[in-house]
Structure 1
Amino acid sequence: MRTFAYHRAASVDDAVAAVSADPETLYLAGGTNLVDLMKLGVRRPRVLVDISHLPLNHLTHHADGGAVIGATATNAVVAGDPLIRRNFPVLSESILAGASGQLRNSATMAGNLLQKTRCAYFQDVSKPCNKRAPGSGCPAGTGAHRDLGILGVSSSCIATQPSDMAVALSVLDATVHLRNATTERAVALQDFYVPPGNTPDRDTVVEHGELITEISLPALPAGAVTRYHKVRDRWSYAFAVVSVGAAVVLDDDGRIEQARIAWGGVAPRPWRASIAEAELRHHKPSRQLLERALRAELRHATPLPQNAFKVDLVREVTAALLTDLVRTAEDRKVTR
């Protein structure tokens, strides 16, 4: 790790000004991903601006069932919050499926969203990688790509976004709030991540100097049931091979009024399965319907030899999860 300077921000304004003024300056909060990348030589900031102590760790619940979560609220605090567990179980489950208890105690909400891919070529500075060094090439296509993407990838990059939490936030239609030196803006989670295209070095819409201040969650529809399921190579401390976050709402006739499906481990961003969602809407749930809807979504997949198994895996895991959610929603209607 090369020498760097450290600045403890006196305020949010001070932090934004310090980072905006220098392209080699980065924000530091939990540091659970950034510091690792610095040790590997992937990230080489000249200055780190510490924001961990600033008043950005709030967690506020609204009377309508919505919530606002501060950027530096830790993953552990959010996952363990009683109202998050009750109102947004998919979020709590996704956080608890990631990392270890020790890491969750340090990792922040904003940092989780911004974490970098775990593609081995990105993390190895001796190898070419378009995400790390634009124009150098992507050896993953003909090299090791078993854990990489099958949807939304490009010839420049097939890396996946590793956040479990981001998948849940996609299901919840979350909004990310950003602030720079002069303005604030809100970005829907679905628009937060940038497709690789010809610029895979850019992961999100966040401009240099912009600071994530909070994440807002609208209330879920009445009767919604949600869940997160992760398939990984070992029980703990492993990133998703594939993961699924979903929410289901049934109408009074037992038809699917609303289905939200997001996938992790398959794309450069949480993949919202909008084609499948549209196929399911207003229909009586059945295994045949689920299969047809999920196959329609996966028709756009572009797997490579080592990760082609993900197409069948994510379809089967999603169908099983949706079946369970429908059954739970039906049971709740009966007991009301």
Structure 2
Amino acid sequence: MMTFSYHRAESVGDAIAAVSRDPNARFIAGGTNLVDLMKYDVERPGRLVDITRLPLKGFEQTGGGGLKIGALVPNSDLAYHPSIERDYPLLASAILAGASAQLRNAATTGGNLLQRTRCYYFYDVATPCNKREPGSGCSAMTGVNRIHAILGASDACIATHPSDMCVALAALGATVHVAGPDGERTIAFEDFHRLPGDEPQKDNTLAHGEMVTAVELPAPRFGANHSYLKLRDRLSYAFALVSVAAAIEMDGDVVGEARVALGGVAHKPWRDPKAEGLLKGQIPSSSAFAAVADSLLSGAEGHGANDFKIELAHRAIVRALGQAAAATPQVQSSKTVN
């Protein structure tokens, strides 16, 4: 039986201090991922620090016209918040594409950023996994790897990041607010998650004792021309094989700026500004979108059972950009792709 101590934090400082002084301590809020990992014996924290009562559940307009979202805002509240539905519909759509209504009620904004891979071998403590036990090997390399990475992988790990929300946040250019033993800092979203390299056990760039306090969105853009397309084995309650957050800002008849982020294909949400820049000044067309897809996937590599993901991702990018350009975003409740 797993034993652990429990502490309910009374303030952000109290929570940080409680985790910082114990290398085996973990923050817990919604618990929708950590509790599962504890049940599977993947994670064995010696101390849980409960942050659910901290004042991190609010929304705040920023001086630059953006929106600051508290780390403890439930995913469901975020998706249906009037400001998100009106100004950041891409984010609302991505959240509603993920998990189930019950899980979205419990899962938090900060926790969504910190959720860990759903790789089968990571969850199976009887098999080698460099993410779970560094140096033991990667079973997925020659095993069942249908859901695994085609971009940014390494010889040590081919796991993927599971979030839908994070794919939209990457496309929108969000910023993560963090507090820790050394004070507060902000992290550009593109720098928050890591590629596996030779340290796949590290999912992000947080130091021990640091906690996410908020996510900040820049001033609204892409409200009209956007789409979140998620392709998976079944319509609901399944992680993406490939997902695409596409956002376009039109300048008359041509593209002024484009953003494309991919999910289900790498250890982090995948963006390439160089590829996005290929659309600038272009009249929206399938051929222009295909050029972006070619660039985004130029380094893609399958591992056998997931080879199909390369073509699937290419088609998804073209389709999502077409939806965004036409201002006909994918409807998450629809059983068919627009």
Query: Map of 1:133-148 to 2, 5 A cutoff?
Result: 133-148=133-148
Query: Map of 1:176-255 to 2, 5 A cutoff?
Result: 176-221=176-221, 225-252=225-252, 254-255=253-254
Deviation (angstroms), 1:57 = 0.8
Aligned length: 328
The C-alpha deviation readout for 1:175-231, integer Å capped at 9, x for no partner, is 001111231110011000111110000010011000110000001337752221111
Question: 1 or 2, which has the higher helix percentage?
Answer: 1
Q: Which residue of structure 1 aligns with residue 115 of structure 2?
A: 115
* Higher mean C-alpha displacement, 156-165 vs 3-12: 3-12
Q: Which residue of structure 1 aligns with residue 167 of structure 2?
A: 167
Q: C-alpha distance in 2, partners of 1:100/1:94?
A: 12
Q: Which residue of structure 1 aligns with residue 336 of structure 2?
A: none
Q: Which residue of structure 2 aligns with residue 333 of structure 1?
A: none
Q: Which residue of structure 2 aligns with residue 272 of structure 1?
A: 271
Asked if structure 1 preserves the Cα contact closer than 8 Å seen for 2:226 and 2:327, the reply is no
Deviation (angstroms), 1:276 = 2.1
1:139 alignment partner AA: S
If the length of structure 1 is used for normalisation, what is the TM-score?
Answer: 0.95
The C-alpha deviation readout for 1:146-183, integer Å capped at 9, x for no partner, is 00000000010000000000000001100001111231
**Helix, strand or coil at the partner of 2:18:** helix
Query: Map of 1:310-329 to 2, 5 A cutoff?
Result: 310-328=309-327
Q: C-alpha distance in 1, partners of 2:221/2:102?
A: 34
**Helix, strand or coil at the partner of 1:305:** coil
Asked if structure 2 preserves the Cα contact closer than 8 Å seen for 1:145 and 1:304, the reply is yes
* Higher mean C-alpha displacement, 313-322 vs 49-58: 313-322
Q: Which residue of structure 2 aligns with residue 306 of structure 1?
A: 305
Asked if structure 1 preserves the Cα contact closer than 8 Å seen for 2:74 and 2:107, the reply is yes
Asked if structure 1 preserves the Cα contact closer than 8 Å seen for 2:68 and 2:214, the reply is yes
Q: C-alpha distance in 1, partners of 2:67/2:251?
A: 25
Q: C-alpha distance in 2, partners of 1:222/1:322?
A: 12
Asked if structure 1 preserves the Cα contact closer than 8 Å seen for 2:88 and 2:223, the reply is no
Extract structure 1 runs of 4+ deviating beyond 6 A.
none
1:197 alignment partner AA: G
Q: Does 1:5 align with 2:5?
A: yes
Q: 1:10 to 1:275 in 2, by over 3 A?
A: same
Deviation (angstroms), 1:110 = 0.6
The C-alpha deviation readout for 1:43-74, integer Å capped at 9, x for no partner, is 10011000001101111235864110001110
Asked if structure 1 preserves the Cα contact closer than 8 Å seen for 2:227 and 2:247, the reply is yes
Asked if structure 2 preserves the Cα contact closer than 8 Å seen for 1:227 and 1:246, the reply is yes
Asked if structure 1 preserves the Cα contact closer than 8 Å seen for 2:170 and 2:189, the reply is yes
Asked if structure 2 preserves the Cα contact closer than 8 Å seen for 1:65 and 1:87, the reply is no
Asked if structure 2 preserves the Cα contact closer than 8 Å seen for 1:130 and 1:201, the reply is yes
Q: Which residue of structure 2 aligns with residue 80 of structure 1?
A: 80
The C-alpha deviation readout for 1:102-159, integer Å capped at 9, x for no partner, is 1111100010010000000000111100000000000111100000000000010000
**Helix, strand or coil at the partner of 2:265:** coil
Q: C-alpha distance in 2, partners of 1:212/1:230?
A: 26
